[in-house]
Structure 1
Amino acid sequence: MTRSGRWGTFLGLTLTTAACGSGESPGAPAHVTPIVRPPAPENEFTPVELEATVDRLVTEINASSTRTMQMAVLLRNATGFWAPIVAAANRAMGELDVTGSVIGPVAPSEDGSESEDLQNLQIQQAVADGAEGIGLAPISDVQTAAVDEAVASGVHVVTLDADVAASKRAIYVGTLDRSAGATGASTLLAMLPPPRGTVIIHGSVNAAGSSGLERTQGAQDVFEAAGYEVLVRQSTWAAQGEVEDVEWMKTQVETADPPVVGLIGLFNISYRCAMAAEAAGKPELPIVTFDFDPKTVDYMRQGRIKATHIQRQYYQGYLVPYILYGIKNIGLDATRKLLTPQLVEGGLVDTGIDMVPWDKIDAYNDFLGSIEANQ
């Protein structure tokens, strides 16, 4: 069985234990039963190309002398945005019949340093406990050294949701942030009156949070190329963040010159854009968002948020164990080749995003239910 007890008490919360392998030594051929995946749901939101990529991986792995494997998936959190990742990673590990656990969340701290240190310890502990592959949602670039140490020990690391690009990780799986920001901006652009006008981006100007900054710059480039002025609000997750974000955006809606003609939020707290427009007495302003927070959904049902963009985090969590298992059984180069339809720059797997209009909420909820990925 997995050795997760120590992780649960010392390094975080062990969320769920995946199926155990057949018990042979780590290097011995052992997977007698071929991997069998359930058929993909038939839904307009099913990412057919991603499903086909996993099927190719399964076919190639089943043709090899498959082996048992121990892995760990280390996340920053376990609820809300992260819940589909937890469900998907556990499902994939069960289908693969590997030994492993999904671990999270790391302990919170106001400046992030405690969480970063704890995640580094989790990486080290996973290696010490015999993990042959690690899926990691890194907190920041602080994880670079710990990732490199794991790789030097012979453990492949696949990152998801955020990357440590300067490390020796094998592959990144997730949203390509600059492209996602541009996609979201294009959605809002179609709803705007002709320039002149100002667009508010609830995003990031923080160079330390490189993925948020990339997404923001991708959106900003689209609006500026179209002739709009852009104001960027640094999103705030601290205790008073909602009040501060809403007040800042409200003030801009009331005073900006040229006037604000639309708002876009790029994170799971995007619904604050709708709160700000309402507080400024401009609920009719077009707003688009990211992610599927319950508050975002509520505003969509009211027609106040016109569309949101979902990062397919379920597929991030689902792909990572399959990729780790592929690297062990058929090698890194062969695994990368099979990922080619989504592979960018040699090591980035783009899982894409779903654009969900306000009047497609129920259809999208049905899709999430069909893969057990509701947040």
Structure 2
Amino acid sequence: MNIYRKRLIFLLATILFIVSCSVMLYFGYKTFYIEETNNNAADNYRYHFALIAEETENAYWRLIEDGAKKAAREKEIYLEYVAPKKADNDQLLVLFDRMIAAKVDGIIIQGIEGNRFVDLVHKAIERNIPVITIDTDVKSSERKAYVGTDNYYAGQLAAQTIIQHTQGEQRVGIVMGRLDAINQKERLAGFKEEIKNAPRIEIADIKESQITKIGAAQAAYEIYKQHPSITALVGMSALDGIGIVQGMQEVAPEKELYITSFDILPETVEYIKQGNIDATISQYPKQMGRTSIDTLITLQNKDLLKNEKFIDTSIITKGNLEKLSGDWK
């Protein structure tokens, strides 16, 4: 083999290596959202916390981030916001492990069912990194605290909206963000428990939206197609109510339905004002973010006697919209 051929092979191998690295970095970026971290800036703060969200651009999680970042700035905390690009438990757990390896001072994360999550919480605690679950709890883990809604109670409230504001037999279609999500299952359990004393109300069907508006619209359409006699629809996660309205406006705009949603995103509030959504179960994500930061600061020095910090939850309708604080904006 002459020297020119050797050089050509070496050049091609180098090009292949560079291309492979570029592809790996590109798909890593597409899979996860990780804020650019300025290590020097982080060193100038009291503590470095990580908020691991369900997915990057989910409006609900951005409100949690907003509240947490405001509290972090006030308390001289460096807060890093990380999330999968799209909701994916496996990817979220990879990020969890990565934040533990980064030796942050505390982690705020949505709880995930399964041994892997429990093991990672244990790993963090072994390294003296307190972990808070937010929005969804995993009581079987060693998490130091839970901050968020009492999801079972929230499900009961969703049932109450139909019990209190309808008459006669009601056939209810339910749209859940993810069928395997702990918080969604707790809400469904609360809903089922509450309607036990209201035999005129029955669940016709349950579909999954994959926490997208399009998915919720498709789920609502499928429920209506299979059960055209439904009288009510309930969306169990933040984007479900919005998607339900948009889907039903397309396929059955004249169909009268009682629609209950979750959360008080601006679009949800606008639909309530217009009469398209009859009620929503309010959560206060900014307050969750603020409370989680305060709780992690406390946990730097001591454990909590009361480790469940429930954020207020209530029924919001067109008649009491004025009760909303600026927290949802």
Q: Please state which band the TM-score falls in when normalised by the shorter chain.
A: 0.7 to 0.9
Output the CA distance in 2 between the equivalents of 1:201 and 1:101: 36
Q: Where do 5+ consecutive residues of structure 2 fail to align? A: 1-27
| CA distance 1:267–1:127, shift in 2 (3 Å) | closer
| CA distance 1:209–1:121, shift in 2 (3 Å) | closer
Output the CA distance in 2 between the equivalents of 1:89 and 1:296: 22
Instruction: Give yes or no for the alignment of 1:108 onto 2:108.
Output: no
Instruction: Indicate which of 82, 86, 92 corresponds to 2:61.
Output: 82
Instruction: Give yes or no for the alignment of 1:354 onto 2:314.
Output: yes
| Paired residue secondary structure (2:60) | helix
With normalisation by structure 2, the TM-score equals 0.77
| Paired residue secondary structure (1:263) | strand
Structure 1 runs of 4+ aligned residues shifted over 4 Å read 8-11, 15-24, 275-278, 359-363
Q: Deviations over 1:188-217 (max 9, x none)?
A: 2111113x33222223783x3222111012
Alpha carbons 1:249, 1:276 under 8 Å: kept: no
Alpha carbons 2:152, 2:189 under 8 Å: kept: yes
Instruction: Indicate which of 242, 249, 267 corresponds to 1:271.
Output: 242
For 2:106, the equivalent position in structure 1 comes to 133
Alpha carbons 2:205, 2:223 under 8 Å: kept: no
Measured after TM superposition, the shift of residue 95 of structure 1 is 1.6
Output the CA distance in 2 between the equivalents of 1:174 and 1:92: 16
| CA distance 1:138–1:107, shift in 2 (3 Å) | farther
Measured after TM superposition, the shift of residue 355 of structure 1 is 2.3
| CA distance 1:233–1:15, shift in 2 (3 Å) | farther
| CA distance 1:119–1:245, shift in 2 (3 Å) | closer
**Count of aligned residue pairs for this structure pair:** 295
Output the CA distance in 2 between the equivalents of 1:19 and 1:231: 56
Instruction: Indicate which of 152, 156, 161 corresponds to 1:187.
Output: 161
Instruction: Give yes or no for the alignment of 1:70 onto 2:70.
Output: no
For 1:3, the equivalent position in structure 2 comes to none
Output the CA distance in 2 between the equivalents of 1:15 and 1:84: 20
Output the CA distance in 2 between the equivalents of 1:11 and 1:144: 22
Q: Where do 5+ consecutive residues of structure 1 fail to align? A: 1-7, 25-67, 338-346
Q: Which amino acid aligns with 1:144?
A: V
For 1:150, the equivalent position in structure 2 comes to 124
Measured after TM superposition, the shift of residue 310 of structure 1 is 1.9
Instruction: Give yes or no for the alignment of 1:286 onto 2:258.
Output: yes
Measured after TM superposition, the shift of residue 120 of structure 1 is 2.9
Q: Deviations over 1:32-75 (max 9, x none)?
A: xxxxxxxxxxxxxxxxxxxxxxxxxxxxxxxxxxxx33322221
| Paired residue secondary structure (1:292) | coil
Q: Which amino acid aligns with 1:264?
A: V
| Paired residue secondary structure (2:147) | strand
Instruction: Indicate which of 262, 268, 272 corresponds to 1:300.
Output: 272
Instruction: Indicate which of 110, 115, 136 corresponds to 1:162.
Output: 136
Query: Which of 281-290 and 184-193 deviates more?
Result: 281-290
Q: C-alpha root-mean-square deviation of aligned residues, in Å?
A: 3.2
For 1:209, the equivalent position in structure 2 comes to 181
| CA distance 1:324–1:188, shift in 2 (3 Å) | same
For 2:291, the equivalent position in structure 1 comes to 319
| CA distance 1:201–1:180, shift in 2 (3 Å) | same
Q: Which amino acid aligns with 1:12?
A: Y
With normalisation by structure 1, the TM-score equals 0.69
Q: Which amino acid aligns with 1:324?
A: L
| Paired residue secondary structure (2:195) | helix
> Higher relative CO (CA 8 A, sep ≥ 6), structure 1 or 2?
1
**Whose helix proportion is higher, 1 or 2?**
2
| CA distance 1:197–1:310, shift in 2 (3 Å) | closer
